[in-house]
């Protein structure tokens, strides 16, 4: 597995494929409404479905993350996501 879980922290390593969606969704559902922290410092790429789960959680609950030194596209997407512009609830 490329995602490991410890407490309220999920660590994403290497490439996160679609087969991680269900376990990541279950993790977020279990932790809601608590703050979740994502360590993506070792992550190279993330499937869009996983990013969508992150954005949905961030819309409703407290969410923090850390990235590696090299800026990746998924980092720009997550940092640029403005919850005030998302009208889906």
pLDDT at 89 exceeding the cut of 50: no
Q: Which two tokens stand for residue 65?
A: 């993350």
87 pLDDT band (50/70/90 cuts)? low
CA 69 to chain centre: 18
Residue 1 CB neighbours (<10 A): 9
Q: What is the pLDDT of residues 6-19, one digit of tens each?
A: 999 999 999 999 99
Cα separations in angstroms, 71 against 1, 10, 55, 78, 83: 23, 19, 18, 11, 21
pTM to 2 decimal places: 0.86
> What element of type H or E holds 34?
none
The rounded percent of the chain whose pLDDT value lies above 70 is: 91
For the chain, which residues make up each domain, given as ranges? 3-85
Assigned CATH for 3-85: 3.30.750.24
Q: What is the pLDDT of residues 26-54, one digit of tens each?
A: 999 999 999 999 999 999 999 999 999 99
């Amino acid at each position: 597995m490329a995602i490991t879980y410890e407490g309220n922290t999920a660590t994403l390593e290497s490439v996160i494929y679609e087969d991680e969606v269900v376990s990541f969704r279950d993790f977020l559902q279990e932790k809601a409404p608590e703050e979740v922290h994502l360590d993506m410092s070792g992550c190279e790429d993330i499937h869009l479905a996983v990013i969508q789960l992150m954005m949905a959680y961030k819309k409703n609950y407290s969410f923090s993350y850390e990235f590696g030194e090299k800026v990746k596209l998924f980092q720009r997407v997550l940092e640029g996501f403005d919850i005030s512009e998302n009208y889906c609830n």
